[in-house]
Amino acid sequence: MAGNAKSVVVLDYGFGNVRSAERAVARTGARVEITRDLDAAMNADGLLVPGVGAFSACMAGLRAARGDWAVGRRLAGGRPVLGICVGMQILFSRGIEHGQESEGLDEWPGTVGPLEADIVPHMGWNTVRPPEGSRLFAGLDADERYYFVHSYAVHDWEFAAHHAVRAAPKVAWATHGRPFVAAVENGPLWATQFHPEKSGDAGARLLTNWIETL
């Protein structure tokens, strides 16, 4: 391993596919560690926040591990964070599941709600419409497919100019029933609703694009 390889911590707070994320990041050539140690999370070049299961449970687990503090402190210092699946959803203001509302990290305004589609969950491969100038999707063809498995999503992007504390976000969209937010790039904070670690060569390229920004 090269001595100057970037370091990435996969935050282990009990609600993510940490092993598959670790393997996928390691394939990029980065040094990767699975841990809930806050010093390691703060000092790594990049912090990856995975997430599976319910929004409220993920938030409770994140808070119990003080991962919410680590994410907030890193972003306040302009340090890169990547959220995946529910790890992306909890970055929004709130989630609504089974009629119950839970507070998120509120890095972006917006509500995570049930998918509005005939078939739920959305499970399998789908294309994504990346924004112009995207660094996350750089070098990837428009017809590339990415692996999704989720029953909830953000359907309405509510970010406005007065919310801006970082670079204006670039938002990618996908459609299952109706369009939903598939990925966001916002200064040091990036996130994907799909699983790049399960998305084959396209996902590997996407993770490499993130590592190259660290």
Q: Are 206 and 199 in contact (CB under 8 A)?
A: yes
State residue 162's pLDDT score: 55
Q: What is the mean pLDDT of residues 201-213?
A: 98
Q: Can you give the pTM of this predicted structure?
A: 0.95
Q: What is the mean pLDDT of residues 20-42?
A: 97
Q: Tell me: pLDDT of 167 over 90.
A: no
Query: What mean pLDDT is reported for the chain?
Result: 95
Q: Tell me: pLDDT of 122 over 50.
A: yes
As annotated, the active-site residues are 85, 195, 197
* Sequence letter at residue 16: G
State residue 163's pLDDT score: 57
Q: What is the mean pLDDT of residues 84-110?
A: 96
Helix ranges, the chain (H):
18-26, 38-43, 55-64, 67-76, 86-89, 200-211
The closest alpha carbon to 25, from 52, 44, 53, belongs to 44
pLDDT in tens, 63-85: 999 999 999 999 999 999 999 99
